Structure 1
Amino acid sequence: MAELSVVTSTSQEAGDDVIDVARRTLRLEMDGLAAIENALAGETGERLRAAIALIHRSAGRVIVTGIGKSGHIGRKIAATLASTGTAAYFVHAAEASHGDLGMIHETDVVLVLSWSGETAELSDIIDYTHRFKVPLIAITSREDSTLARAADIALVLPAMPEACPNGQAPTTSTLMQLAVGDMLATCLLSNRGFSADDFRRYHPGGKLGARLKRARDVMVQGEAMPLVADVASLSQAVLTMSSKRLGVTGVVNAQGDLVGLITDGDLRRAFRNGFTDCPVADVMTRTPITVTGDMLAQEVLALMNSASITVLFVMDGKRPAGVIHIHELLRIGVV
């Protein structure tokens, strides 16, 4: 038992040390982000504006490159740009020297990441941009570096200490590079007026794609819609509701306008009061909650949750265009 007690005590102390290191890491990385924010008030901000304007007016793509950890961050930046409407891809600097330089066209913009600005593997791609007059944007920490001096626009970031306890492993620096890439992507997104529909075009799969669907994309429509005329009897409404299996039936007038609906709850209340085959107008809800086809699927789900309903009609003016059941929203991954 004594040995177990010693192990437990040591583990607890080690755990405390780990949390201290974790907090120090976060503080140093947050300091790095804060330093970028402060730098935006000066020349760095003006250079960022110029870089965004250069990419925005470019007829080509953004070619992102880097080596080591900067290369990994570069891949992420390229992916973020591409998914938010800015054509971009990553070219490995070492591979560029063995034929991949042919991927870079004169209409492109090259974005190079190197914290030191002295990465030898970048020399060929830098020379290539000069030879063919391809605009070069640099993300680095040294104004006097080879990369910064070679760039058309150098985004020089404050040199902040790494969060690594030894001050060596790229941690704060890579987070700062990633933040600049996110700034470029979001500013370009804003300039282009990138909409939810645009997001959906680039993110058709997964939960994001599901949330960005519109009501019209997930509704049941046509013959599958449960509808009865406003002169129908309750028994007819029950048959329609049972055959369409959506737990609801809409009630329409002679012009095809939705004037009410009958839900499972309406039927239960009718049975509790003693079922009689009355006109649907005596039972229906006259002011149902509806949505338009343009509403986002995630907004439809939020409305259903707030109103404690499981089904609603999608409207085209006064006429029902479709029906959405909450089960369908959950099935496709809307959360």
Structure 2
Amino acid sequence: MTNSTTHAQFISTAIEAINTEKAALSLLTEQIDSRFAQACDVILACQGRVVVTGMGKSGLIGRKIAATFASTGTPAFFMHPGEAGHGDLGMLVQGDVLLAISNSGESDEIKMLLPVVKRLGIPLISISRDHRGMLPRAADIVLTLGKSQEACPLNLAPTSSTTATLALGDALAVALVHARNFTSEDFALSHPAGALGRQLLTRVEDLMHTSVDQLPLVNQQSPLHKALFTMTHGRLGMTVVTDDEQRVVGIFTDGDLRRVLERGVDLSVPIHEVMTINPRQIERTMRASDALSVMNENGISQLLVMDDEDQLQAIITVHDLLQAGVK
């Protein structure tokens, strides 16, 4: 069987499908009214979890909506309506809110759950095409999508309707993010394994060198050759220069060493004559990503971590940050 469809026809069909779904989203915006605000109020007041349910394609979209809720500060999970009728309904307890999705409003699997939902006194928010159907008639709050044309040429396969449902779920999640004053740090707490989580959660104190043998210190009167031995022992590409009271007065790095050698400086010169003064200092609670930005902006590879009494507490290097995946 040969396919006579041309590339131009493929592209034309794709654009038509996307435009059909855009029209569905435009229709959805006309459905956003006081019912949407009431749904937000109910979810904000929820003492339990938002339990999302839906069958078929609606269920697949429901899983994504539940995941978005959970990752943005609204405890939520997906409950399969078919499995719920065989025991999983025990997941639903008083204090929860049920968000049920059915484009037609006539899902038999959800219909079987409604008597129990009502008996438990659980608020029911429905998402459907319009107000017709068993589900919206039973719901406390009815959210509608509008009767849009499916992008499927047969007007059968859920396409535009699932896109609109997903957008409505995202709209609820975003509205709740604003209402909860949800921050990027809050978001990171539910994403600790990802790159964003590392960027937002990892602090300097999680990566810095604090053990005594990892803090290369040398007195400012020490000769340069002693500072080099200290630097080599510390293996951090630098040594910290202190005064007699152990206050930091400068640092000497690999870069300083190259410049000294280029000038032919004698290795017996006191380190304070060739050190870098006023080294950059940070606090241990700074984000590791911010510490990396400080290094990049200043063209340096190490930072001194100071305590509340302005005493050297630790050292962190660009290698530590990159090795931890900080960007």
TM-score exceeds 0.5: yes
C-alpha displacement at 1:255, in angstroms? Answer: 5.2
* 1:214-225 map, 5 Å: 214-223=203-212, 224-225=214-215
Q: Which of residues 258, 263, 266 in structure 2 aligns to 1:268?
A: 258
1:190 and 2:181 correspond: no
C-alpha displacement at 1:143, in angstroms? Answer: 2.1
C-alpha displacement at 1:123, in angstroms? Answer: 0.5
8 Å Cα contact 2:204-2:285 kept in structure 1: yes
Q: 1:58 to 1:248 in 2, by over 3 A?
A: same
* 1:265-304 map, 5 Å: 265-276=255-266, 277-304=268-295
C-alpha displacement at 1:253, in angstroms? Answer: 4.1
Look up the match of 2:122: 134
Q: Please identify, of 115-124 and 264-273, the stretch whose mean Cα deviation from structure 2 is larger.
A: 115-124
Distance in 2 between the 1:281 and 1:241 partners?
Answer: 15
Distance in 1 between the 2:43 and 2:227 partners?
Answer: 59
Q: Which of residues 92, 98, 108 in structure 2 aligns to 1:110?
A: 98
Look up the match of 1:208: 196
1:54 and 2:51 correspond: no
8 Å Cα contact 2:54-2:100 kept in structure 1: yes
1:226 and 2:225 correspond: no
C-alpha displacement at 1:26, in angstroms? Answer: 3.4
Look up the match of 2:24: 32
Look up the match of 2:113: 125
Distance in 1 between the 2:86 and 2:126 partners?
Answer: 22
Larger helix share, 1 or 2: 1
Q: 1:78 to 1:308 in 2, by over 3 A?
A: same
Q: 1:196 to 1:269 in 2, by over 3 A?
A: same
Look up the match of 1:181: 169
Give structure 1 stretches of 5+ with no counterpart.
1-6
8 Å Cα contact 1:315-1:322 kept in structure 2: yes
Distance in 2 between the 1:38 and 1:283 partners?
Answer: 71
C-alpha displacement at 1:258, in angstroms? Answer: 3.7
Amino acid at match of 1:325: T
8 Å Cα contact 1:206-1:333 kept in structure 2: no
Q: Which of residues 231, 236, 253 in structure 2 aligns to 1:241?
A: 231
1:325 and 2:317 correspond: yes
Distance in 1 between the 2:26 and 2:221 partners?
Answer: 67
Distance in 2 between the 1:125 and 1:133 partners?
Answer: 13
Look up the match of 1:14: 6
Look up the match of 1:66: 54
8 Å Cα contact 2:31-2:144 kept in structure 1: no
C-alpha displacement at 1:304, in angstroms? Answer: 3.1
What do residues 124-182 of structure 1 show as CA deviations (whole Å, max 9, x unaligned)? 22222112110111122212332222111122123333333443322232222222222
Amino acid at match of 1:81: F
Q: Which TM-score applies when normalising by structure 2?
A: 0.86
Amino acid at match of 1:15: H
Q: Please identify, of 277-286 and 247-256, the stretch whose mean Cα deviation from structure 2 is larger.
A: 247-256
Give structure 2 stretches of 5+ with no counterpart.
none
Q: 1:122 to 1:286 in 2, by over 3 A?
A: same
Amino acid at match of 1:171: T
Q: Please identify, of 159-168 and 90-99, the stretch whose mean Cα deviation from structure 2 is larger.
A: 159-168
Q: 1:294 to 1:278 in 2, by over 3 A?
A: same
Distance in 2 between the 1:226 and 1:19 partners?
Answer: 64
Amino acid at match of 2:21: E
Say what the alpha-carbon RMSD is for the aligned residues.
2.7
Q: Which TM-score applies when normalising by structure 1?
A: 0.85
Among the aligned pairs, what percent are the same residue? 42
What do residues 216-274 of structure 1 show as CA deviations (whole Å, max 9, x unaligned)? 22222232233334444333332222122222233344555443322211111011111
Distance in 2 between the 1:165 and 1:311 partners?
Answer: 61
SS in 1 for 2:303: strand
Q: 1:210 to 1:121 in 2, by over 3 A?
A: same
8 Å Cα contact 1:28-1:161 kept in structure 2: yes
